[in-house]
Amino acid sequence: MRLLVLFFLVMSVLSVNTFGQRNCGSLEYQKKFAQHETYSTSKSPITDNIAARDTLSDETINIPVVIHVLYNLNEQNISDAQILSQINILNEDYNRLNADATNTPSAFQKYAGKCNIHFCVAKVDPQGRQTKGIVRKYTSKVCFSMNDNMKFANAGGDDAWDSKRYLNIWVCNLQSNVLGYSSLPNDRAELDGVVIQYNAFGNTGSLRPQFNKGRTATHEIGHWMGLLHIWGDNTCGNDYVDDTPPQTYYNGNCPSFPHKSQCSINNNGDMFMNFMDYTNDECMNIFTNGQKNKMRKLFALNGPRNSFLLSNVCDSSNANNIAGPSSNEAANKPVQSVTIFPNPSSSTINMIPVNGYDLNNNTVHILDATGKVLINQKIFSSNRSINISSLKSGLYFLKIGSGSDQKMIKLIKN
């Protein structure tokens, strides 16, 4: 009995660590998959000199954003409202306008930085046409790994827009419980951008409880602008920012202040509420002045993101008069349906989804020729069979779904 209890305790801990802990894939991605020249403040980053001016100290840096929504199931095709909620969150977090900024402990308030960086949904596409800045595409991929397939149309994803003028954000279903990952500032143009799990994006819609305030995108875009994790991705590591105190490793969940670790230099302990730690969304509330300066440096003269200073694609008046494609490419989505097998049948039929039709929790009705319901049965992934042996031989109709998703199939009982 004691062994059984111990087993369940261990499994519960593993479950919390697996499903309750923030999992940023940026470090693993950069080590295994990304093809880039490592960014360092000690060398001049690569640039094509598109913009030949420096940033001003008080200048608001505008970052046009395009959202590539890749969905296999309808729930992954997140709403415009959810997307816009994420843009609002970014503008709050990067400008110290987030309501929970008051939760920053007084010991760290003096380090808090207003980045003066503004995010806007693109209004002009790369061809100069008007756009909503949102691309929706059905994908046959059930989920994506960190091999960048979501960034290529021929691999089930969507091609990046010009990364010198747009921040590309791919929102999709990621495998291995990864919430998101980012490229580095000098990655190849077609790979440049961030990838976010669809149910950890924004603060409205169906979201994961610990990650429902949009801080995954805040965190990953911090990587896109050159920030490391606050613990330096090593035990007592260095994130190369002077005003973030050293800490032993990442923090999860919501620690209480002060939270001291092996490498703490004073009684204030870890800055676990920093956007570049691993705490839950509700516990994140600060970028420091040092982090602000590191991010803004990327947009300075000869910086790898300097070209954004001349990007004017958030102003719809710069678009030509040619209408752009609809942001919703539902016409390219294979028709979702359901079929039954065998048909005719004398005893049992099996429900088979086609092109990702979601059978789970749907109720099937079998009707006779007059419309009278003879059988009602709820369908689950573990049981997609229906016993029709009680029916007399003849023609029947199987109905599933409702509204535009309703399917009606002829069924012959022999």
User: pLDDT tens across 43-60, in order?
Assistant: 333 334 444 688 888 899
User: Are residues 365 and 266 part of one domain?
Assistant: no
Among the residue ranges 2-11, 83-92, 121-130, 187-196, the one predicted with the least confidence is: 2-11
User: Are residues 323 and 374 part of one domain?
Assistant: no
User: Are residues 183 and 231 part of one domain?
Assistant: yes
User: Are residues 322 and 368 part of one domain?
Assistant: no
Domain boundary among 268, 299, 331: 331
Catalytic residue from among 28, 59, 92, 220: 220
Instruction: Average the pLDDT over 10-34 and give the result.
Output: 59
User: Are residues 303 and 281 part of one domain?
Assistant: yes
User: Are residues 304 and 341 part of one domain?
Assistant: no
User: Are residues 298 and 284 part of one domain?
Assistant: yes
Q: In terms of DSSP H, where are the helices of 94-180?
A: 106-109
User: Are residues 322 and 228 part of one domain?
Assistant: yes
User: Are residues 113 and 237 part of one domain?
Assistant: yes
Residue 97's CATH number: 3.40.390.10
Percent of the chain, pLDDT > 90? Answer: 67
Q: What is the pLDDT of residue 47?
A: 36
User: Are residues 87 and 27 part of one domain?
Assistant: yes
Instruction: Average the pLDDT over 160-173 and give the result.
Output: 97
Q: What is the pLDDT of residues 335-345, one digit of tens each?
A: 677 888 899 99
Q: Report how many domains make up the chain.
A: 2
**Do residues 156 and 127 lie in contact, with contact meaning Cβ atoms separated by under 8 Å?**
no
Does residue 98 surpass a pLDDT of 80?
Answer: yes
Residue 2 lies in a domain: no
* Domain span at 168: 23-331
pLDDT band at 72 (very low <50, low <70, confident <90, very high): very high
pTM above 0.85, yes or no: no
Instruction: Average the pLDDT over 5-9 and give the result.
Output: 35
Residue 388's CATH number: 2.60.40.10
Q: What is the pLDDT of residue 327?
A: 56
92 flagged as catalytic:
no
User: Are residues 303 and 203 part of one domain?
Assistant: yes
Does residue 326 surpass a pLDDT of 70?
Answer: no
Domain boundary among 295, 310, 331: 331
Domain boundary among 281, 315, 331: 331
User: Are residues 311 and 372 part of one domain?
Assistant: no
Does residue 5 surpass a pLDDT of 50?
Answer: no
Residue 202 lies in a domain: yes
